[in-house]
Homo-oligomer: A and B are copies of this chain.
Amino acid sequence: MGPKYSSSRENYLKAIFHLQEIHGTVTTNDVANELQTRPASVTDMLKKLKAQKLLLYEKYKGFKLNTEGRKVALQIIRKHRLWEYFLVEKLRFGWDEVHEIAEELEHISSKKLIDRLDEFLGFPKSDPHGDPIPDSQGRWTLTRQVDLLNLPINQMAEVSGIGDQSAEILELLNHKHIALGTRLEVKKKFAFDNSIELKIKNQSPVTISEHVAKNVFVKYDE
């Protein structure tokens, strides 16, 4: 059996999901803009998605995915992010060059394939951009995982992993009282050398270099 929905339909579902996460409800123009297509084409597709019972839609009013549509969208997002993780972690791609390839891979239909891939990758919780990966039931941890360079300022987070496992970096982190589980927030980012000033509760601020920041991963709820 081929795919349940065409690539095109899947792209619409994904775009609508994305937009309704941001705005609650979605408009025709939004989708046209997101998918680089024409509003008329969007309307055409909305009718099809409604007929397939994936979308709540009354013409001229806004629209949003129903439960089934959301479910399908989450599976596509899951595939996209797992493939991105694979490309970066296993095939040594840069995190900035994987999106386009994952746009194609996300439409491969086999559920067994994606569950095996998930297992092969060790059930990662976040993709290389820090976005959460839904599990095979479409649930996701609300936790984002990023390195310290990408942690928003004043966002409390918990250290969840160290990239470089060398004794040198562990010594440095130890000295600054940073370990797995430490709760901290970024107070300042210096554009000059990308160094970062951190604050850990009940301690005075510490500064770390870009090189170190890149290797410290933290998670936080959004």
Contacts and interface: CB of A to CB of B under 8 A. Distances in A.
A108 B110 contact: no
A92 interface: yes
A72 interface: no
Interface stretch (A57-65, A113-121, A138-146, A173-181): A113-121
A107 to B, nearest CB: 8
A191 interface: no
A91 interface: yes
A31 interface: no
Interface string A111-140: 001001100100000000000000000000
Interface of A is mostly: helix
Instruction: Bin the interface of chain A by size.
Output: 10 to 19
B93 A116 contact: yes
A113 B87 contact: yes
A2 to B, nearest CB: 9
A101 interface: yes
A23 interface: no
A91 B104 contact: no
Q: How many copies does the complex hold?
A: 2
Contacts of A91: 113, 116-117, 120
A4 interface: no
A90 interface: yes
A109 B105 CA distance: 10
Interface in A27-67: none
Contact of A113 (B101, B109, B110): B101
Nearest to A109: B104
A6 to B, nearest CB: 12
A116 B92 contact: yes
Interface of A: 87, 90-93, 100-101, 104-105, 108-110, 113, 116-117, 120
